[in-house]
Structure 1
Amino acid sequence: MTNRKKPALGVFVYFAIAFALGTYFTFAAVQGNFGLFSRAEIEAEADALQVQLDLLNTDIAVMENLTRRLSDTYLDLDLLDEQARSVIGLLRSDEIVIR
């Protein structure tokens, strides 16, 4: 005669809760606000913003160079002549304009 015992209901509940919590935390680790997918999106956005920052820093350097070249302490006559021609439309007396 075999006397079989039924497994306790508490064991099934315990494993069901453990499985549910494990599943929830695994899902949160992959797709949650601080999960792997979010981290990949943030890193891609950071790379794109770094590229934009580098372009803006290059533009700032060009502008600073032009500003320095037109400052009172250092005057670049070629740049001044170029700006006078493009902005004001000045010409020298020995130049001929062809339209």
Structure 2
Amino acid sequence: MVIALTSYLTFAALQGEHGLFSLFRVQSDEGNLREELAALKTERAAIQNKTVRLSSESLDLDLLDEQARKVLTLGRPDEIMVR
């Protein structure tokens, strides 16, 4: 009986819902999510920077020209378009 109880408790400590293997999986998931969060924060900062540069308070004419050319697919007569 003691061996069966010890075996069950050992199994539960390793494989159970709150066991060691579950803990390792959660820690791994946490690391992956932290990396994803860092990448998303970087992407958000880049988008926010571009938004600020295109706002009416601080308009960046070069960026506006670039975006208009990209959307409208237009170029000047003396330019060569490369895609």
TM-score (norm 2): 0.84
**Structure 1 residue 56 displacement after superposition:** 1.0
* Alignment size in residue pairs: 81
1:98 and 1:47 map into 2 onto residues whose CA distance is 46
Equivalent residue in structure 1 for 2:21, among 12, 37, 60:
37
Question: What are the within-5 Å matches in structure 2 for residues 5-16 of structure 1?
Answer: 16=1
- Give 1 or 2 for the bigger CA radius of gyration: 1
Question: What are the within-5 Å matches in structure 2 for residues 70-85 of structure 1?
Answer: 70-85=54-69
Structure 2 unaligned segments of length 5 or more: list them. Answer: none
Map of 1:61 onto structure 2: 45
Structure 1 unaligned segments of length 5 or more: list them. Answer: 1-15
**Structure 1 residue 90 displacement after superposition:** 3.3
1:25 aligns with 2:9: yes
**Structure 1 residue 89 displacement after superposition:** 2.6
1:51 aligns with 2:31: no
Give the share of equivalent positions with the same residue, in percent: 47
1:31 and 1:74 map into 2 onto residues whose CA distance is 58
**Structure 1 residue 25 displacement after superposition:** 1.0
By relative contact order (CA 8 Å, sep 6+), the higher-ranking structure is 2
Alignment root-mean-square deviation, CA: 1.6
**Structure 1 residue 91 displacement after superposition:** 3.1
SS at match of 1:72: coil
SS at match of 2:38: helix
